Structure 1
Amino acid sequence: MEREPDSSILNSAKILWNYLKVDMPLEKADGILIFCSNDLRVAEYAASLYHHGYAPWICPSGGVGRLTYGLFHKPEAEAFADVLIKAGVPSDVIFREDRATNSAENVFYTRQLLIKHNLTYKNLIVLQKPYMERRTMATLTHHWPELKFMISSPPISFENYPFEGFSTSDLVHVLVGDFQRIILYAERGWQTPQPIPDEVMGAFNLLVSNGYTREFIDPAASPSIPPQ
């Protein structure tokens, strides 16, 4: 059984957390795009933004995920839509994109869907988990450079992020894995390169040296990118 992270591990993990969040200010937009995941709190946040008049429609994007099929037993977009409807969002303003299995596919399949439904999407609010904000930004600026967007996530702190079935140790592992993707995907031309301060790289190296590599990907792995 993995031991609980000590203070040095937690401090380094929080440095990664703060780096991976980009904290863009929000204003009203043409629509809300959700990059779906295993965290349904993002759907609850989207519903709140809708009810506060930030956008007239919501597009949850996500297919059958490696980590979520056993959790939801349906595409992520459908699970997120269920939460949105339960929170009072009308079904006819929810446009489900249920094929994407990675961030690049979220972009390509969503763009096709928005065109199909003749929706305006010059300026979007894009929602993610807090620690995936920066990677989402890097994906959008690379694969959808003409889009104006604001990235946001539920206002949950590092300390309060763990939930049932997802411990603080799990969070540290995924932070390290997501940071590795920031580096590798940029090197391979799949995302826009990000500046990395020395403090952040030092925190990453400390966590790697302490074995928090469970969510590492094969450096030779390539994401599926459908034709435009």
Structure 2
Amino acid sequence: MISAQAWADAQRVWDFQQMGHDVRPCSVAIGLGSHDLGVADTTADLYHRGMMPLIVFTGATSRTTRERMPRGEAEHYRERAVELGVPAEAILVEPRARNTGENIRFSRALLEERHAPVSSALLISKPYEERRSYATACKLWPEVEWVSASTPMTMSEYVDSIGDARLVIDMLAGAQQRLMIYPQQGFMTEQNVPGDVTAAYERLRDAGFISRLVSETAERN
């Protein structure tokens, strides 16, 4: 049973992670691999709306995806987008990245290898990781103007779509923790975290939503 306080705290963290950017046309879209095929759906929708001519899907597998996406997150995303009408030639696959930092670095290398000019990029993530992803991208590829995007939905709708409330709140707590500790480790740009967001995260941590937390001396993003 998840308490009313935990739901309220998760909602506060969810709201903070949302960047609220206005989606606009960009040079490329980078879809960050995860357990959530909704990232591929949203990327396909934005492609059909003319928001980018080129897509990079990036991601290998993780403990939450190795069974459901055995061919790799990026490849499953590509297949999904093609099913939704995106031309295969408009999609590049980056199949090695295992964390957000690698998503950005490896996507950049792939685009440079293909001589694709990039001045702006739509960064498409899960809804509760917009800010974390944005802070990582700004740190690792500062020359690009980043626009955050995700599937437009409420936290309750997202929980229903995943079907596992505890997993979502664990993931939220993990995203918020990284946003708070990784700038000092050089993995992200610093974000101004309001006190009530910090307090909400700490209550979630203390309530046991810890399965996606990392050691504060961790060296991976």
State TM-score, norm by structure 1: 0.92
Choose from 48, 52, 55 the match for 1:51: 48
Structure 2, unmatched stretches of 5+, are: none
Instruction: Name 2:132's counterpart in structure 1.
Output: 135
Partner letter of residue 53 of structure 1? G
Partner letter of residue 191 of structure 2? Q
Choose from 149, 152, 156 the match for 2:149: 152
Choose from 168, 171, 180 the match for 1:183: 180
How many pairs does the alignment contain?
221
Distance 1:213 1:221 in 2: 15
Distance 2:164 2:46 in 1: 28
The equivalences for 1:182-221 within 5 A come to 182-221=179-218
- Give how far 1:163 is off: 4.6
Distance 1:223 1:12 in 2: 26
Matched, 1:102 2:87: no
Instruction: Name 1:13's counterpart in structure 2.
Output: 10
Instruction: Name 1:33's counterpart in structure 2.
Output: 30
Choose from 73, 76, 91 the match for 2:70: 73
Aligned-residue sequence identity (percent) comes to: 28
Choose from 165, 172, 178 the match for 1:168: 165
* Comparing 76-85 and 104-113, the one that deviates more: 104-113
Q: Is the 8 A contact 2:123 2:134 kept in 1?
A: no
CA RMSD, 1 decimal: 1.4
Distance 1:144 1:133 in 2: 16
Structure 1 residues 178 and 110, CA gap change in structure 2 (3 angstroms): same
Distance 2:204 2:61 in 1: 30
